[in-house]
Amino acid sequence: MSDDQRQITAFLEMMTAEKGAAANTLDAYRRDLADYVDFLRRSGVAVTGARKGDVSRYLQELSVAGLKPTSRARRLSAVRQLYKFLEAEGVVAESPAEGIAAPGKARTLPKTLSVDEVDRLITTAARAADGLSGRDLVRAVRHHCLLEMLYATGMRVTELVSLPRSVLKGDPRLLSIRGKGGRERLVPLNGSARAALARYLALGVAPEDGVAPMVATRYLFPSRAEGGHLTRQRFAQDLKETAAGAGIDPERVSPHVLRHAFASHLLDRGADLRSVQSLLGHADISTTEIYTHVLEERLKRLVTEHHPLAKKDP
């Protein structure tokens, strides 16, 4: 059995054991992935060595062969699921199918929040600590700090909650973040976020027990959870509670929505796409291009407001 076949077999076994996939579903995955592996073999590429360009060429070949968009989308979905599994198992650093839009489908615009709504969220989180003490104070201050840092940097929520204390070394205006695939990037930390972080650090205790010195822990946001740090689920839950307190529909708010807000607001105020790509930690500019609608709106506004003929009556 080849390495490619072993990877697919392991994936199908996972689908059976963990997902309870039906026989028909497994057969469909098996057929679709066998076709993908055959394409890679003809190109001299292994499953674990494929790049984004290989996946794109595979979809192009399917299109030339006359496959309907829905069938091509199904094949892409199978490839995505395979690489999601391999990424989780540590076999590949990053999925080459990430950021590739499904054939025949326009990429949906990301949900986001207005600047005013984000301000209300942050203000609500800051005020939540008023009058509190002990463990409740620590948790409230921690949540405000997390919210400030998320909006200031656009970090992925997993990157945020698992930040090591070592990020505090060096220039306090910059954070060194290790993202997907082990890639490191520098992101600036604005004054508001630095102040919230300083307030949190000044408390000097681990959030989950209120006693242990935080300096003795590996993580910036320690917890008794299995991973040793605050979970993304807990932060997301706290964020929805903050949204409700700010008068915003909690269903519209999540850590990922705030990441989108970070990117959208930067672009709306003049940042270029490449800079935002770097700050978000996207490996490929095509992933960042979901925000081009923001650039288009900005250009329309620029022409409307500044072109000498724009405001003349027709």
CB 196 within 8 A of CB 153: no
CB 160 within 8 A of CB 146: yes
pLDDT score of 302 more than 70: no
- Work out the average pLDDT over 43-59: 93
- Work out the average pLDDT over 188-211: 79
Annotated catalytic residue 282: yes
Which position among 80, 240, 256, 298 bears the catalytic label?
A: 256
Residues 67 and 168 grouped into a single domain:
no
Which position among 180, 185, 234, 240 bears the catalytic label?
A: 180
Residue type, 139: R
Residues 41 and 151 grouped into a single domain:
no
Which position among 52, 142, 260, 282 bears the catalytic label?
A: 282
Rounded CA-CA distance 95/100 in Å is 10
Residues 249 and 197 grouped into a single domain:
yes
Rounded CA-CA distance 278/173 in Å is 17
Residues 143 and 47 grouped into a single domain:
no
DSSP 245-309: HTTS-GGG--HHHHHHHHHHHHHHTT--HHHHHHHHT-SSHHHHGGGHHHHHHHHHHHHHHH-TT
Domain CATH for 268:
1.10.443.10
**Which residue intervals of 176-227 are DSSP H helices?**
191-203
pLDDT score of 119 more than 60: yes
Annotated catalytic residue 83: no
Residue type, 38: D
Annotated catalytic residue 291: yes
Question: Quick one: pLDDT at residue 181?
Answer: 72
Residue type, 299: L
Residue that has been written with the tokens 């080849």 in this structure? 2
| Among 188, 161, 144, 213, CA closest to 276 | 188
pLDDT category at 216 given cuts 50, 70, 90 is low
Q: Tell me the pLDDT tens digit for each residue of 266-289.
A: 888 888 888 988 999 988 777 787
Residues 54 and 127 grouped into a single domain:
no
Which position among 139, 232, 259, 260 bears the catalytic label?
A: 259
Q: How many CB atoms lie within 10 A of CB 212?
A: 14
CB 312 within 8 A of CB 124: no
Residues 144 and 235 grouped into a single domain:
yes
DSSP 122-188: HHHHHHTTTT--HHHHHHHHHHHHHHHHHHHH---HHHHHT-BGGGGSS-TTEEEEE-GGG-EEEEE
Domain with 211 in it: 115-299
Rounded CA-CA distance 58/90 in Å is 24
Residues 282 and 173 grouped into a single domain:
yes
Token digits for 11?
């994936």
Q: Exposed, middle or buried: residue 10 (CB in 10 Å: 0-12, 13-18, 19+)? A: middle
Question: Quick one: pLDDT at residue 105?
Answer: 53
pLDDT category at 291 given cuts 50, 70, 90 is confident
Q: Tell me the pLDDT tens digit for each residue of 219-236.
A: 999 988 888 899 999 999
CB 280 within 8 A of CB 259: yes
Residues 225 and 126 grouped into a single domain:
yes
**Is 179 within the bounds of a domain?**
yes
Which position among 75, 142, 144, 156 bears the catalytic label?
A: 156
Residues 120 and 83 grouped into a single domain:
no
Residues 7 and 132 grouped into a single domain:
no
Give the total number of structural domains in the chain: 2
Rounded CA-CA distance 160/255 in Å is 10
pLDDT score of 22 more than 70: yes
Read off the pTM. Answer: 0.62
pLDDT category at 68 given cuts 50, 70, 90 is confident
